Amino acid sequence: MKKLINHPENVVREELEGIALAHADLIKVHFDPNFIYRADAPRAGKVAIVSGGGSGHEPMHGGFVGYGMLDAACPGAVFTSPTPDQMLEAAKTVHGGNGVLFIVKNYTGDVMNFEMAADLAMAEGIEVQSVVIDDDVAVENSLYTAGRRGVGTTVLAEKICGAAAEAGYSLSQLAHLCRKVNGWGRSMGMALTSCTVPHVGKPTFDLPEDQMEIGIGIHGEPGRSRLPLKTADEIVEMLMGPILSDLPFKAGDEVLLFVNSMGGTPLIELYIAYRQAHRLAVQHGLKVVRNLIGPYITSLEMAGCSITLLKMDDELTRFWDAPVRTPALRWG
Amino acid sequence: MKKLINHPENVVREELEGIALAHADLIKVHFDPNFIYRADAPRAGKVAIVSGGGSGHEPMHGGFVGYGMLDAACPGAVFTSPTPDQMLEAAKTVHGGNGVLFIVKNYTGDVMNFEMAADLAMAEGIEVQSVVIDDDVAVENSLYTAGRRGVGTTVLAEKICGAAAEAGYSLSQLAHLCRKVNGWGRSMGMALTSCTVPHVGKPTFDLPEDQMEIGIGIHGEPGRSRLPLKTADEIVEMLMGPILSDLPFKAGDEVLLFVNSMGGTPLIELYIAYRQAHRLAVQHGLKVVRNLIGPYITSLEMAGCSITLLKMDDELTRFWDAPVRTPALRWG
């Protein structure tokens, strides 16, 4: 296992120490239980947004904490759900008096623990609503999921809902918006290589030198099919087809096109993939009005990419464009 | 070779097509000769800044074109210098009447071709000054270099000089500032794995599973030593030692600490490295006033990192903080 780490058991703690040192202007880190939260929390009157999930998907979610996005993020161990006590403490820390929205990726452990945390928070008088993201069109059920997995749309939902929260949306308005984003987003991913969980020490799966996995999950869960390696243009077509037909996206729709690196795939390849994805979107009659390209929801050092297409309207575009200041997304 | 590409010979062209589709609000791409330039070029009265180098180091340099940074970037083939005609056409396209600054990484081909382009531009009445970046403390000379290689400080110089150009610095003031940044920046890198140049099809070098290369160049040029794999904390200490002693950085100095991924190293590991680099800087008496963490000057999918330390003063900090709107760096 070739990694820039110290002891495998200390990976998340040391990562959080690094984040705390690096971004003290934006965020603070609470240890035991672990969560990252906005340096200026709680923001009185604003609905707070809390997300979380296993580590190993950086910058998601900790890199999205800050003005215009998340109020707190709860990192579990690598590829392991965070626990209810993390979520409860995070919610209590950032609650500004107007309730808390939990944005939850659809993995059984995440959903169960966020539900438990919501119950505990409500018992302490904090109003909570949860929205589960399940945008992955690859498979109906998977290793860690009943129903579709939550992937790339999560990043977009956190940005858009974060801006809406700054603009004064109520908790029920925010939950409604988050469900709309989830309903309008579709994703699919693929892997060229596996990744290695530090405390496991060997690759999650074996993928021969001439094979790829289409429909991979962000923890290396099996996808739709294992196939001989193809060209970037063919691969992107295999991802875009199921995405385009699922919503379905219709000619004339405005979309945000998000081409994501699984971690080990460099930008030079992402732009080659983006070129084809954009071309196919246009061929389908879509208008690509916004995009995002880079490593935002990763699987450690896995090589591969995922594509997310989000149908946009004026509300979503306005909140996408709104200012954001987090370690990983920053503009305006 | 597992890459998300089509034909190896088309990698750079297709990448540029993707960049053009993705960032039409910020940049335009000129083909044959290839260069990326600001969508609003030329900017009358502003000194134009042009850089360039081999592809495979993305987002450098094309991702740094836009308001507050570069006016144009000339990408060569992967790990291959761009040609004088690219640089000349780029300079002519973005020249706003007040001269052009070439920022050149110290590789023999880059330096030679930028010199030739400067001569050609000056023959056409465009005033040009060139500054060569040579900040890599690892080795005195290397495979492609007489003198030290140019690495991470290039990113910082392009940001700082780009802001100064927006603020109205003259060509000679800009060249002076760029030399100051180069004089105050020191870098060193390391690799856990090799990378594979697409048209070569096999790894640039072999690095056994239990070995690492300290002092690696951004094209996989040999470094100082090949050693058994160590912990992140030990590796960072091996990079920071030579950096700290070279300028030398003194107690009380304000610095920008830049921890860069070589491409395949994920953010979770970079923050572990940042934690130790920050700690060592503080132990040395330095005040870390700014930082940058992520893949900014890469070597395709190589796993590893580099560290750059830049001594800061009010002028550098002001221009670092100034607004920037490029595909890869965007704030303010």
List pLDDT tens digits, range A6-63: 999 999 999 999 999 999 999 999 999 999 999 999 999 999 999 999 999 999 999 9
Q: Which of B271, B286, B317 to mutate to test the interface with A (most CBs of A within 10 A)?
A: B271
Overall average pLDDT of the B5-9 stretch: 97
Whole-angstrom CA distances from A38 to A94, A125, B32 are 8, 22, 48
| A321–chain B nearest CA distance, Å | 13
Question: pTM, whole model, 2 decimals?
Answer: 0.98
Q: Is B16 helix (H, G, I), strand (E, B) or coil?
A: helix
Q: Is the pLDDT of residue A81 over 80?
A: yes
Residue B101 CA to residue A15 CA, distance in Å, equals 39
A275/B21 Cβ within 8 A: yes
Q: What's the pLDDT band for A141 if we cut at 50, 70, 90?
A: confident
Question: Which residues does chain B have within 8 Å of residue A59's beta carbon, measured at their own beta carbons?
Answer: 267
Task: Tell me the residues of chain A between 146 and 185 that have a Cβ less than 8 Å away from chain B.
Answer: none
What pLDDT, on a 0 to 100 scale, did the predictor assign at position A131? 98
Q: Return d(Cα A254, Cα A235) in angstroms, integer.
A: 23
Q: Is B289 on the interface with A (CB under 8 A)?
A: no
* C-alpha to C-alpha distance for B233 and B187, rounded to whole angstroms: 17
Q: Under a CB-based contact definition with an 8 Å cutoff, are residues B174 and B49 in contact?
A: yes
Rounded to whole angstroms, the Cα distance separating A38 from A165 reads 14
Closest to B289 measured CA to CA, from B261, B252, B325, B323: B252
Answer yes or no: is pLDDT of A143 > 80: no
- Band (B303; pLDDT cuts 50, 70, 90): very high
Catalytic residue among A23, A61, A95, A219: A219
The Cα angle at residue B65 between residues B59 and B68, in degrees rounded to 5: 120
Residue B217 burial (CB count, 10 A): 23
Q: Which helix (H) or strand (E) holds B38?
A: strand B35-38
Residues of chain A with Cβ-Cβ distance to B264 below 8 Å are 263-264, 266, 301, 303
Please state, in angstroms and rounded to a whole number, the distance separating the CA atoms of residues A75 and B289.
Answer: 27
- Chain A contact for B193 (CB, 8 A cutoff): yes
Residue B165 Cα, gap to closest chain A Cα (Å): 21
Alpha carbons A110 and B312: distance in angstroms, whole number = 44
Q: Which of residues 257-276 of A touch B (CB under 8 A)?
A: 263-275
Round to the nearest angstrom and report the end-to-end CA distance of chain A.
40
The DSSP call for residue A216 is: -
Task: Report d(CA A305, CA B42) in Å as an integer.
Answer: 36
Query: Residue B121: what residue type?
Result: A
Calpha distance B214→B306 (Å, rounded): 10
Express each pLDDT in B237-266 by its tens digit. 999 999 999 999 999 999 999 999 999 999
The answer to whether A18 contacts B235, with C-beta atoms less than 8 Å apart, is no
Q: What are phi and psi of A31, to 5 degrees?
A: -105, 145
pLDDT in tens, A315-330: 999 999 999 999 999 9
Which residues, in sequence order, are CB contacts of A3 under 8 Å at separation 6+? A196, A198, A301, B192, B232, B269
Looking at the partner chain, which of A7, A301, A304 has a beta carbon nearest the beta carbon of B303?
Answer: A301
Predicted confidence band of residue B11 (pLDDT cuts 50, 70, 90) = very high
Q: Identify which of B14, B293, B301 has the shortest CB distance to residue A275.
A: B14
Interface test mutation site (partner B, options A27, A58, A268, A320, max chain B beta carbons within 10 A): A268
Is A269 in Cβ contact with B5 (below 8 Å)?
yes
Does this complex have an ipTM over 0.95? yes
pLDDT grade, residue A307 (50/70/90)?
very high
Q: What percent of chain B has pLDDT over 90?
A: 95
Query: Which residues are A310's β-sheet partners?
Result: A185, A256
What six digits make up the tokens of A323?
A: 């200012």
Confidence of residue A232 (pLDDT cuts 50, 70, 90): very high
- What distance in Å separates the CA atoms of residue B90 and residue B50, rounded to the nearest whole number? 7
Q: Is B253 helix (H, G, I), strand (E, B) or coil?
A: coil
B226: contact with A, CB 8 A cutoff: no
Report the pLDDT value the prediction gives residue B146, as an integer from 0 to 100.
83
User: pLDDT value at position B102?
Assistant: 98
Please state, in angstroms and rounded to a whole number, the distance separating the CA atoms of residues B178 and B265.
29
Identify the residue whose tokens are 């690495």. B151
Which residues in chain B have Cβ-Cβ distances shorter than 8 Å to A231?
5-7
- Determine the pLDDT at residue A140: 83
**Closest CB from B18, B193, B278 relative to A271:** B18
**B81 vs B71: CA distance, rounded Å:** 19
Model confidence band, residue A270 (pLDDT cutoffs 50, 70, 90): very high
Mean pLDDT of B159-180: 98
Contact A332, A322 (CB under 8 A): yes
Please give the positions of B annotated as active site.
57, 219
Per-residue pLDDT, averaged over B74-96, amounts to: 98
In this complex, is the C-beta atom of A71 within 8 Å of any C-beta atom belonging to chain B?
A: no
B259 → chain A, closest CA residue: A22
The strand pairing partners of A324, in sequence order, are: A331
Q: Which domains does chain A have, with CATH numbers?
A: 13-184 (3.40.50.10440), 185-321 (3.30.1180.20)
Residue A261's Cβ-side half-sphere holds a number of Cα atoms within 13 Å equal to 27
Cβ neighbours of residue B314 under 8 Å, at least 6 residues apart? Answer: none
User: How far does the CA of residue A243 sit from the closest CA of chain B (Å)?
Assistant: 19
At residue B271, the pLDDT reads 98
Query: Is residue B75 less than 8 Å (CB to CB) from chain A?
Result: no
pLDDT at B222: 84
Residue A225 dihedral angles phi and psi, to the nearest 5°: -160, 150
B160 class by beta-carbon count within 10 Å (0-12 exposed, 13-18 middle, 19+ buried)? buried
Quick one: pLDDT at residue B144? 76
Residue B85 confidence (pLDDT): 98
Listed residue (B61, B129, B62, B64) closest to B100, CA to CA: B129
Mean pLDDT (chain A) is: 97
Find out whether B214 and B239 touch, Cβ atoms under 8 Å.
Answer: yes
Burial class (CB in 10 A: 0-12, 13-18, 19+), A149: buried
Interface check for A39 against chain B (CB to CB < 8 A): the answer is no
Q: What is the dihedral of CA A311, A315, A321, A325, to 10 degrees?
A: -110
Task: Please give the single-letter amino acid code of residue A280.
Answer: L
Q: Which residue's structure tokens are 């030579």?
A: B242
The pLDDT value recorded for residue A257 is: 98
CA distance A125 to chain B (A): 35
Helix axis angle, B11-22 to A267-283, nearest 10°: 60
Cβ-count burial of A295 within 10 angstroms (0-12 exposed, 13-18 middle, 19+ buried)? Answer: buried
Among B216, B215, B160, B214, residue whose Cα is nearest residue B183: B160
> How far is B303 from B280, CA to CA, in rounded Å?
23
**Nearest CB partner across the interface for B272, out of A6, A229, A233:** A6
Query: Which of chain A's residues have a Cβ under 8 Å away from the Cβ of B275?
Result: 14-15, 17-18, 21
Strand partners of residue B100:
B48, B128
Chain A residues touching B3 at Cβ < 8 A: 192, 232, 269
State mean pLDDT over A136-155: 89
Q: Given CB atoms, is B63 within the 8 Å cutoff of chain A?
A: yes
Q: Which amino acid is at B155?
A: V
How do residues B138-157 score in pLDDT, each as one tens digit?
988 777 778 999 999 999 99
User: Does the structure show a pLDDT above 80 at B204?
Assistant: yes
Residue B23's SS3 state is coil
Beta carbons of B301 and A303 less than 8 Å apart: yes
Which chain A residues have a beta carbon less than 8 Å from that of B76?
Answer: none
* Catalytic-labelled residue, pool A57, A61, A95, A284: A57
Classify residue A145 by its DSSP letter: B
Average pLDDT, chain B: 97
Q: Which among B4, B232, B267 has the least Cβ separation from residue A232?
A: B4
For A185, counting Cβ atoms within 10 Å of its Cβ (0-12 exposed, 13-18 middle, 19+ buried), the class is: buried
Give me the pLDDT at residue A312, please. 98
The answer to whether B235 contacts chain A (CB < 8 Å) is yes
